C-alpha cells in the first residue's frame, strides 16, 4: 500500500501534540518497518525540520531525524509540473493541493492526514491515520481468507 504522509502526521507521530494517539505513531512505524510504502514530498522535509525546532532543541538531533526520514520514506521531488498542477486545483490550501496532485500523479493509495477536509478536491482518498489503519486491517483480513 502506497501512502503519502501529510507533514502533520509525521509531527503527530513524534510529538506529544493534541493529536497524538490518533494512530499516527502506528502508521509511522508501519512505514519504518516497510509494512506500507511511505512517501513524502521533498518540500515537506524543510517544513518538518522547521516544526521540529519546537520539539527538539538539539540541531544535530533534528538533522539526524531528517536523515532518518530520507532513509525511511521515498521522496517525491517537486518540480514545475507538480507546482502548476497544484495551482490549477484552486483549493483553499496550496500545500495540500500540491500533496493531492503529487499523490494522484504517483498513484498513491492514500493520503494520511489529520486534516481530511483540506483534501476535498483530491482524487486520492485522504484519511486519518486511524482510518487508514482500519483499511489496512480490512485488506489483511480479506487476503488471509
* CATH architecture, domain defined by 2-144: 3-Layer(aba) Sandwich (3.40)
pLDDT at 139: 85
Cβ of 107: how many Cβ atoms within 10 Å? 8
pLDDT at 24: 93
pLDDT at 61: 93
Is residue 112 a contact partner of residue 80, using CB atoms and an 8 Å limit? no
Give pTM, 2 decimals: 0.91
pLDDT at 145: 65
Beta-sheet strand order (sheet of 2-5)? 74-76, 37-41, 2-5, 110-112, 126-127
Task: Point out the residues of the chain with pLDDT beneath 70.
Answer: 16-21, 145
pLDDT at 47: 95
pLDDT at 79: 94
Helices 129-144 and 24-32, interaxial angle, to 10°?
A: 60
pLDDT at 55: 86
Amino acid at each position: 500500500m502506497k501512502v503519502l504522509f501529510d507533514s502533520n502526521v509525521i509531527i503527530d507521530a513524534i510529538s506529544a501534540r493534541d493529536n497524538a494517539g490518533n494512530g499516527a505513531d502506528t502508521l509511522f512505524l508501519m512505514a519504518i518497518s516497510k509494512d506500507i510504502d511511505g512517501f513524502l514530498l521533498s518540500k515537506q522535509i524543510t517544513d518538518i525540520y522547521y516544526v521540529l525546532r519546537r520539539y527538539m532543541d538539539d540541531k544535530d538531533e533534528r538533522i539526524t531525524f531528517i536523515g532518518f526520514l530520507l532513509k525511511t520514506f521515498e521522496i517525491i521531488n517537486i518540480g514545475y509540473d507538480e507546482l502548476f498542477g497544484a495551482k490549477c486545483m484552486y483549493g483553499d490550501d496550496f500545500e495540500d493541493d500540491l500533496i493531492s496532485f503529487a499523490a494522484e500523479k504517483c498513484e498513491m493509495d492514500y493520503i494520511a492526514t489529520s486534516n481530511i477536509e483540506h483534501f476535498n478536491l483530491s482524487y486520492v482518498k485522504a484519511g486519518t491515520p486511524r482510518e487508514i489503519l482500519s483499511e489496512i486491517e480490512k485488506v489483511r483480513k480479506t487476503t488471509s481468507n
